Structure 1
């Protein structure tokens, strides 16, 4: 936590109680890298299977996996960058890059969804024969690969469930998993009944299933990029809680935002009594913010008397 006395005290003090290593671990980085390799390798097999069988579900899923490979590569790069230390140009380091990666990954899912829907509508108007046998084999292998990839990421999430970068990668893999399930179902129906329209119909169903998760990732990452107030943080509640701290008479100019999905930041002005102990008051404020609101990185300006940023009276 940072504390600043106002000019009335002619002094300035600092105390630190935060870490710049939240939410990003080498384990998650390794898991994303392994899943990236799995996705890229099987994507090539799906392209071949889709061409041989004529299945839109397989080709659409292969196209989805291509963008997923790029999305996972971006997520992996984000984990790598966030390990870099802060410097003169980036005082918070590269943490925000992981939020940007999640935002881009979420948007890419909307582009993929649009392409699949367009192609599905075209195939519904002009059905294309599909070879159910090869389609079933490739889709079955895809299900195994995607289930393994999803399990690897899910197992690695653990306490990082709020990490948007990891969640964005998981949404892409979940889309692949659902795509494989849809392709298997379509292949069974085609082998059993010969009804080809089931292929594009199930492709659209998968699109609808993944769009909700994509929207959640885009909405949350966009909110962070716009420096919106973190969920569960209310300026009025923070002010009321801090006014109960001994020596604090008023709290104002409360501003809260997020560096990443897990890391909340806060600035505020706290007016204290003239005889209040600076260090003890600051420690009490720090404790309240940490224990009641989960904020461990705050900049607090300590003031005595009138706020130096108060509106000037009209002359």
Structure 2
């Protein structure tokens, strides 16, 4: 299907806007990561160290997201027929795994500090509060930068989720500093570190699950293949539908393919009409879940005459 120049311009503008926002967020996050790393070394805070580790994860995800946003604009070729579209899913999966690792490490370290006597104490609570507020301000700024584009694709959604997690982590650091300043209990820093980790892990699992669903080519959410088959088999001259598959290449790219058994002896004009009716049927009843279709028309009895060509 050809696209007019007028139709392609907004897409180019959206891609450029996403890259700009990712670049701004990456710069802001990188600056605060360095500051928090220094702050963790100076104050001895586990909460701040975990938050800095989380920001390091953010840096890797944001960097990969930016690279992905650049690569996905490259046109498909004979080697990569879908271009680099699938890269956004791989990026999201990698970021989720890194986030999960950081969260589990933080839980272990928090347990050691609370119950294993590994807590050396906080050296400067006031400085800890300063770095917590600095990180929170940076995260709020990053959220504002990414918020309007967070629903564009899985890549942008992963970046936005990372920033939200960081913001919650910074809130925990601030609360930890305030509690220690008012109560004098330095063990609360380890509690805050564990809380940050507990906020990381469920979101990491969610992001990893969504990415794996795409990589495993599961049926897109909300698409009932039984209903799809029933609608297709109502098209005139369609006898049966088999080898029906649906999956997602990347965000906004659901695909569907099927072998369609039709009446024997049809002309090319009639076959062309069946293809048009099948596509119109899916566009009308499943407009969101199906955007790219591939149909193979087969005359009645084709499977029994050519069993070696038929997939289960």
Structure 2 length-normalised TM: 0.87
Q: Is the 8 A contact 1:128 1:196 kept in 2?
A: no
Rounded Cα–Cα distance in structure 2 between residues aligned with 1:17 and 1:227: 27
What residue in structure 2 maps to residue 287 of structure 1? 280
Secondary structure in 1 matching 2:302: coil
The offset of 1:211, in angstroms, is 1.5
Rounded Cα–Cα distance in structure 2 between residues aligned with 1:219 and 1:17: 35
The offset of 1:190, in angstroms, is 0.5
What residue in structure 1 maps to residue 64 of structure 2? 74
Matches within 5 A, 1:128-147: 128-130=120-122, 131-147=124-140
Q: Say if 2:216 is the partner of 1:226.
A: yes
Secondary structure in 1 matching 2:245: strand
Change over 3 Å in CA distance of 1:310–1:33 after alignment to 2: farther
The offset of 1:312, in angstroms, is 4.8
Could you report, residue by residue, the CA deviation over 1:100-132 in whole angstroms, capped at 9, with x for unpaired residues? 000000111111112211221222133332222
Rounded Cα–Cα distance in structure 1 between residues aligned with 2:148 and 2:178: 31
239, 258, 263: which one aligns with 1:268:
258
Superposed CA RMSD in Å reads 2.3
Rounded Cα–Cα distance in structure 1 between residues aligned with 2:302 and 2:227: 20
Matches within 5 A, 1:73-112: 73-112=63-102
What residue in structure 2 maps to residue 117 of structure 1? 107
Rounded Cα–Cα distance in structure 2 between residues aligned with 1:48 and 1:35: 20
Structure 1 length-normalised TM: 0.86
Secondary structure in 1 matching 2:86: helix
243, 262, 270: which one aligns with 1:253:
243
Q: Is the 8 A contact 1:123 1:200 kept in 2?
A: yes
Q: Is the 8 A contact 1:56 1:200 kept in 2?
A: yes
Pick which of 125-134 and 74-83 moved more.
125-134
Change over 3 Å in CA distance of 1:144–1:310 after alignment to 2: farther
The offset of 1:254, in angstroms, is 0.4
